[in-house]
Amino acid sequence: MDVFKAWPGRAESIVISQESYMRCTGGVAPWRRDGDKGPSYYAVCPLCDNPIQIVGLFRRQEESRARRPYGRHHRGDVPGLCRYDEDAYLHCPYADPNHRTDIRARRHPKDQTGRALYGLMRGEFDRVALAWERFSGIHLGPGAARDMLRKWRDDQGWRYYDATYGNLPQMLFFAAGGQNLVKRYIVPDSPLHERLKGVPQVRLAPTRSRYVQVDKAGPGFLTLDFLLYARRIEWDGQHMNETFRLRGLLGRDDGQQAFDDLTLDVDQDWLPHTADAQPGRDERLLDIARETLQSDAGIPADQ
C-alpha cells in the first residue's frame, strides 16, 4: 500500500514518504522499534486498523527494489500502537488485492473499527453528507438524511467489512436499494446532471439555491430511482482506487434503465477535503445524527 495513518480509529489516508511519515510520527516509539538488524518503522492500515510495516523508508532499511517506500501488513501486535486483528486483515483490500470477500460478512459487535465508524458517522455526519454530494451529485437534505441514517442504523451498517473509513459516505446508500430521485436536488454540471439531461421524462427545474431539482417533464406520474451498486477495487502498483456504479431506473415494475451507468471514484480523503471546503458545521445534520445514533458509546451490547 502507498498510504498509512498514525493511529487506529482515524479517518485519514496519508501518502507514504519519508517526510510525511516523520512529520506524523517523529520516527520514535511506538512507531519505531529497534532490533538487532536496526530500526523498523510501523504505522496503521488506513482501512482495517491493523499494524503495517513501512518498507524502504531509508536506504539502509530497504528490503525491495521499489522506488518509493510502501506499507505491508504486520501480522502481530505493535505495543503502544495497535493490536493485530486476523478477521480484519482477511477482509482488508490491502492485504490481498485479488481476494474476494463475502459482502455480507460482518464485524464482531465489539469490533473497535466498527465502533469507530459508528462514532465517525455520528460526529461528522454533515461532512459525510457533503462528501456524498461531491461523489454522486445528489444533495442530501434533512428529511432524506434522517431516513438514510435510520436505515443505516437499523441495518447496523458499521458492522459490514465492506464499510471502511474511506467509503463511509457511499456505504450510507450501498445496501439501501433503489432510492427515489424525483424532487431531489442535484448539483448542476455534475456527471449525474449531464445524464439526466438526456432523459425525456425528466425536467430539471431551476431553484433559488445553487441546485436544480428533478421533476417530471409532462403530465402523469414519474417514477425515477437511483441505485448505488457494484463496488470495485482496482490497483495501480501500490495505489488502490475504489469505485461504485450509479444507475437510474424508470418505473418500479420493469426497472427500465434511465441512462448509462455512472462509474464514480471514491475520495479516500473525504473527511479533510470536506472540512477544507466547508469549515463551518451544519448543525441541522449534526442534530439529526445525534438524535438518530445517540451516543457512540451507547451501541447496544448485543449489536
DSSP string, 84-129: --HHHHHT-TTT-TT----TT-B--TT-HHHHHHHHHHHHTHHHHH
Confidence of residue 219 (pLDDT cuts 50, 70, 90): confident
Q: Does the N-terminal peptide bond of residue 30 adopt cis geometry, omega within 30 degrees of 0?
A: yes
Angle at 149 between CA 147 and CA 153, to 5 degrees: 120
Confidence of residue 67 (pLDDT cuts 50, 70, 90): confident
Segment 220-239, tens digit of pLDDT: 899 999 999 999 999 998 99
Distance CA 161, CA 62 (A): 32
Angle at 174 between CA 191 and CA 211, to 5 degrees: 35
Segment 234-262, tens digit of pLDDT: 999 899 999 999 999 998 766 799 999 99
Closest CA to 121 of 161, 159, 172, 160: 172
Amino acid at 194: E
CB 193 within 8 A of CB 246: no
pLDDT at residue number 61: 46
Amino acid at 142: P
In this predicted structure, the answer to whether residue 278 has a pLDDT above a threshold of 70 is yes
Tell me the torsion sign for CA atoms 21, 23, 26, 29: negative
Closest CA to 114 of 73, 158, 72: 158
pLDDT at residue number 299: 64
The larger pLDDT score, comparing residue 246 to residue 101, is at: 246
Distance CA 66, CA 68 (A): 5
CB 65 within 8 A of CB 34: no
In this predicted structure, the answer to whether residue 60 has a pLDDT above a threshold of 50 is no
The per-residue pLDDT of the chain, averaged, comes to 92
pLDDT at residue number 103: 62
Helix 125-136 and helix 112-123: axis angle, to 10°?
A: 80
Q: Which of 42-51, 76-85, 179-188, 246-255 has the lowest mean pLDDT?
A: 246-255
- CA dist list (Å): 67 to 39, 58, 64, 230: 20, 11, 9, 33
CB 172 within 8 A of CB 164: no
